[in-house]
Amino acid sequence: MDKRISVISIIVYERDQAAKVNAVLHEYADYIIGRMGLPYEKKGVSIISVVMDAPMSCTSALSGKLGMIDGVTAKCNTAKI
């Protein structure tokens, strides 16, 4: 399997969706190197960055699952290292 380093940027617009986001992230815990979350009260959103070392199929699946949650957007940036 060809592993890559990726950063997934997540913006949660609807805070009641946080439990769903965390459940999806938990499914991929073995591939997650670290994560940082910042609540941005002024705009009413939460911003999460997740760093992964995983096959592209896993990274794409995670990003896709997150993006399918209402009130959540997710984008991925990947480097082959």
User: What does the buried/exposed string (b/e) look like for 16-43 if buried means 16 or more CB atoms within 10 Å of the residue's CB?
Assistant: ebbebbeebbeebeebbeeeeeeeeeee
What DSSP state is assigned to residue 22?
A: H
* Per-residue pLDDT tens over the stretch 23-69: 999 999 999 999 999 999 999 999 999 999 999 999 999 999 999 99
> What's the CA gap between 58 and 16, in Å, rounded?
25
The CATH number given to whatever domain includes residue 29 is 3.30.70.1150
Q: Which domain holds residue 55?
A: 3-79
- Residue 81 in contact with residue 4, Cβ under 8 Å? yes
Query: Strand 32-40's sheet: what is its strand order?
Result: 32-40, 45-55, 3-12, 72-79
User: Number of structural domains, the chain?
Assistant: 1
- Is residue 1 predicted with pLDDT exceeding 80? no
Question: Tokens at residue 10, please?
Answer: 């997540």
Q: Does the global pTM surpass 0.85? A: yes
Q: What is the pLDDT of residue 80?
A: 79
